[in-house]
Chain A
Amino acid sequence: MIITRPNHDYTTNYLFKWSKFIIDEASRTKTDIIDLVGKKVTRNNFESHVKKIKPNFIIINGHGNKDFVCGYKDEILVKKGVNDGILSNTVVFARSCSSASGLGKACIKNANTTYIGYNADYFFMLDEDKLFHPLEDNSAKMFLEPSNYVAISLLKGHSAQEANQRSKNEIRKNILKILANTVSGGDQSMLPLMISNYNHQVCLGNGNARVR
């Protein structure tokens, strides 16, 4: 698998750090990993690795919009109608805003492609005093742990559709914990963000695809 982890601002640095748990699971399941981090997340580098190793699973962390996903310093990595073919015949998990609504739809014109991502903005809450220690941030944990679960479930052998649903179930569990006041680090102001993520996290294309 290939995972991209740019880290040029607080948001991407949080995704960078929290992806550790995905990488741990990949190691545990003896999955070969190309981990593109920081400045290495360029379009050229990404394309050359994909062409060389032909991965069946690609995880993209970074900013985006409906038509593209980005790498380091927001360089466009994959854009609809430009180089979206690079994602053909893979399972993609794009943790970036809105890309499922345009890029994702374009990718799944290839019947063997699966695109799990968000068709609206991806939100999370963070603690200002944990900005330099993202893994200690219990607010961000409420959001990033469930989204990690997409990739972790795929690595455990679940289908793409199952992985997406299992991740959404984790979001729902956190929503219910907050409503019941049974979780530390949770507060009611998180709920609109969580529900937006829940409603807009989608699995497009071949939902039966597996990466193992």
Chain B
Amino acid sequence: MNIATVSSKLTDDDVKQLVIERLRRIPAGKKISIGAYGDFTGDELIKLVEKNDRVGDKIIEMQLEYLRSLKDLLNQDN
């Protein structure tokens, strides 16, 4: 079963929880710059994901894109 199939069976809450767990891995002292939206620590991003904020939605989208894309990227020739 591939990631796309798995993610299509997850509920929105499952996806949100998955993303939050991934955001917990951002090391202390690091921030993520998201253009004009500003720069955020992992804890700040978790709160935005929990609130269904626009930046939180962007982060969810980015994390899911990552899970879908990694295999393709690794399979590319140089």
- List the interface of chain A (C-beta within 8 A of B): 9-11, 14, 63-65, 70, 74, 96-98, 121-129, 139, 169, 172, 175-176, 179, 187-189, 191-193, 195-196, 198-199
Chain A residues with Cβ below 8 Å from B66 are 191-192, 195-196
Q: Which residue of A lies closest to B25 (CB)?
A: A189
Whether the pair A121, B35 counts as a contact (CB closer than 8 A) is yes
In the bound assembly, the distance between CA atoms of A139 and B27 in angstroms comes to 11
Q: How many A-B residue pairs have CB under 8 A?
A: 88
Most buried by A among B27, B31, B38: B31
How far in angstroms is the closest Cβ of chain B from A133? 14
- List the interface of chain B (C-beta within 8 A of A): 22-23, 25-27, 29-39, 41-42, 58, 62-63, 65-66, 69-70, 73-74, 76, 78
Whether the pair A11, B70 counts as a contact (CB closer than 8 A) is no
Whether the pair A192, B65 counts as a contact (CB closer than 8 A) is yes
Whether the pair A126, B65 counts as a contact (CB closer than 8 A) is no
Whether the pair B30, A126 counts as a contact (CB closer than 8 A) is yes
In the bound assembly, the distance between CA atoms of A185 and B67 in angstroms comes to 22
How far in angstroms is the closest Cβ of chain B from A185? 10
How far in angstroms is the closest Cβ of chain A from B15? 14
In the bound assembly, the distance between CA atoms of A169 and B73 in angstroms comes to 11
How far in angstroms is the closest Cβ of chain A from B25? 5
Chain A residues with Cβ below 8 Å from B25 are 188-189
Q: Which residue of A lies closest to B70 (CB)?
A: A195
Given A128-B31, A189-B22, A11:B62 Cβ within 8 A = no
Q: Which residue of B lies closest to A173 (CB)?
A: B78
Chain B residues with Cβ below 8 Å from A187 are 27, 30
How far in angstroms is the closest Cβ of chain B from A66? 12
Q: Can you list 11 A-B contacts with CB-CB less than 8 angstroms, sorted by A residue number?
A: A14-B33, A64-B36, A122-B35, A123-B32, A123-B33, A123-B34, A124-B33, A127-B29, A191-B70, A195-B73, A196-B65
Given A188-B25, A189-B30, A97:B35 Cβ within 8 A = yes
Given A192-B63, A199-B69, A64:B35 Cβ within 8 A = yes
How far in angstroms is the closest Cβ of chain A from B3? 13
Chain A residues with Cβ below 8 Å from B78 are 169
